Amino acid sequence: MARTRPPAPASPVRRSLLVVAAVLALSADDRHAGKGSDGRQMIGTAVAIAETGGIGLAKGAPRAVDRGDHAVSRYGFGTTLAQLPAAFLAPLVERRFGAGSSQPLFLLAPFAAVLLAAAASGYAARLAGASASGTSLAVLLAGLGSPLAAYATSDYSEPLQAAALGGALALAFGAARETAPGASARLAAAAGFSAGFAVLLKSSLAAVAPILLLPLAAASFLRGRRLLAAALGSSVPLAAWLVLEIVRFGAPFSGYGGEGFTHPLLDGLWRLLVGPNRGLLLFFPAAALAGVALLRELRSGVDAPRRLAAAASLAAAAVLLVTAASWWAWHGAGGWGPRLLVPAVPLLAPWAALVAAGLADRPRRIVAGLSIALNLPPLLLHTSFVDTYVANARRPALTPRLEKQIPAIAIEPNDEGRPSVPPDQVLATVPAAAPHVVHPWYFAATLAGTPDKVAARLSRPPWYDRRPDLGPRLVPFPAELAAILAPLPRWGFFGRSLLHGASDPASGSVYLQSLAGQVLRAHETGRLDEGLVLADRLLALRPGEEGDALYVESLRLLGRFDTAAAFLGSLPRDREATPSILAVRALLARDRKDPERASRFAGAAAPWFPGTPLATAPSKPSVWPGTFAAFIRHEEARVEPGLPGVGTAR
């Protein structure tokens, strides 16, 4: 039998990938890894593995699942595994280039994932019969002409989900096209692995990933071999997923206890498809062309692998849409566009390219140009700035309608002490707060001039006239905060933070944050010698308030009071009375039987730690907890393992 292989990507496709990589790399703002709780937990777990060999986080990590004296990440473990190389390399980079310089390392995985998703789109388009130019268009639509582009420098798991799902579809399609038994089986095994890894990235993708293997069922004497190879390929990531679910949560699908699919489905559907805030068609208009192509393919009975690939793409995208539309945070709670639908981009881009490639030259250019233009704002201004600004708006009151949708862990007292919900839960329905409105406004605000002028601009967001109750929580908006949240735009490129790191006030430092978390975890789990080693490492990498306090705390817990006092006495003037040092001095004075001195230190530190045991009882050392971690922890709603709910939140 003649051996035929799927057509190799043409040189225009490789050039398209290079264009995507170059544009994303030369517009990358690599300062923001770990600024959201999702990424911070997944990266923090990778750092835990690299530094201690465990997977635990410090108790009290926001939205982490409580496990007694520590916590575990609720998120899929696939991203953590992808971040392991960065976690192992980070301390070397930090020692060589300075504190915070490892930030770009933790964006390598999402950056590569966006390119893989774009490549998978091109490969699938070529398998579906697209010309070289059509295949190139699929790459460009996925990599630059969709919201996926914004996630190349984001620590969310969506780009990896997109790569895994897009890879599963393209590899299964390729296996169905391949007539050589060995090559077909290898492609099928790779498709199975990619589908299994998608589940490891996010448990809910167990309802999506198997659908994408549908092309393997195309009639052929190789069908049985392909299906067996796919099953074997998926077995390793699925086994890892099951073990990690049980170890962390006690049962599969139990990482999102207390949350659920409580948003009205029909409302979520229209908002995620055509809504002014998160409608897919506003961020990825090529999806309309994909819909036309998919419906046309389903009516065609000529090419079975192609028809099955189309059916798989449509069904998988539909499942993603329904699950996102009914999830309580249907809007994604951050990011660019409909974040929860971003993994569907490489499933739709190949089919959109098939239709667009058949258009005349001018309409085809309009499709590509419009798609890219609509997704330029987050390349000019990183979404982390806007997300942080929105998260610090005034919290809207809990209404009877919202009470049915919002889980208890997201409800907190507002400034008036009334139950309230996250501001984005309401702003996601206000057209004036749409990303295509807010990003240009925010970018213009950064150009206003002095920090005082920038702060004045930020005090009145675009939605302020309609919803003044959702304006900035801090009024007047502090100029010093404006300098951090809205710095003057700079030309970014991937790797720039290697040169500046934490010296840039707008930059995060997720490795050092995670290392500090491991010190706190060691303290609360009784691994005191390990805690001292980790604290010493943190102090060497970044001397300052946090490192000083955790080093003293490690010595205190080991009973080395004199060594702790000597270290405190050696601190320079600007570090000897920081809030954290005052708090740990209070604990040290208590342990040395000096309650008056302990209370004095605690009283000075208390205003910096509202809502904590320190602030609640600064003059009662006898009731203080045993560790610095517990002393300054702001207790949040406890997150228990459990299955997500369905229907209403309560």
Amino acid 649: pLDDT: 67
Asked whether residue 226 falls in the same domain as residue 96, the answer is yes
As for how many domains the chain has, the answer is 2
Count CA within 13 A, CB hemisphere, residue 427.
32
Whether residues 286 and 363 share a domain: the answer is yes
In angstroms, the CA 474 to CA 458 distance is 10
Q: What is the pLDDT of residue 501?
A: 67
Residues 307 and 204 in one domain: yes
Is 539 part of a structural domain of the chain? no
177 and 105 in a common domain: yes
Domain match, 291 and 403 both: no
438 touches 334 (CB < 8 A) = no
Domain match, 451 and 341 both: no
What is the token pair recorded at 156? 């969310």
**Peptide bond connecting 476 to the previous residue in cis, omega within 30 degrees of 0:** yes
Domain of residue 45 covers 11-380
Task: Return the pLDDT at 502.
Answer: 67
Taking the chain (650 residues) in runs of 10, the rounded mean pLDDT of each run is 46 87 95 91 98 95 89 96 98 93 96 98 95 94 98 97 99 96 97 99 98 94 94 98 97 92 97 98 97 92 91 98 97 96 98 93 92 97 96 94 92 89 96 98 96 95 95 91 90 86 81 97 97 97 95 97 95 94 97 96 95 94 95 83 81
Do both 317 and 387 map to the same domain?
A: no
Task: Identify whether residues 363 and 419 lie together within a single domain.
Answer: no
Calpha distance 133→365 (Å, rounded): 12
* pLDDT given for residue 414 in this prediction: 86
Q: Are 58 and 41 found together in one domain?
A: yes
**Cβ-based neighbours of 6, under 8 Å, separated by 6 or more:** 123, 126, 127, 174, 177, 178
Task: Tell whether 437 is covered by a domain.
Answer: yes
Instruction: Provide Rg for the chain, Cα atoms.
Output: 26
Q: Last residue of some domain: 488, 505, 539?
A: 488
Is the whole-model pTM more than 0.85? yes
Question: 622: exposed, middle or buried (C-beta count within 10 Å: 0-12, 13-18, 19+)?
Answer: exposed
- In this structure, is residue 27 part of a structural domain? yes
pLDDT the model gives residue 3? 46
Pairing of strands 412-413, 645-646: unpaired
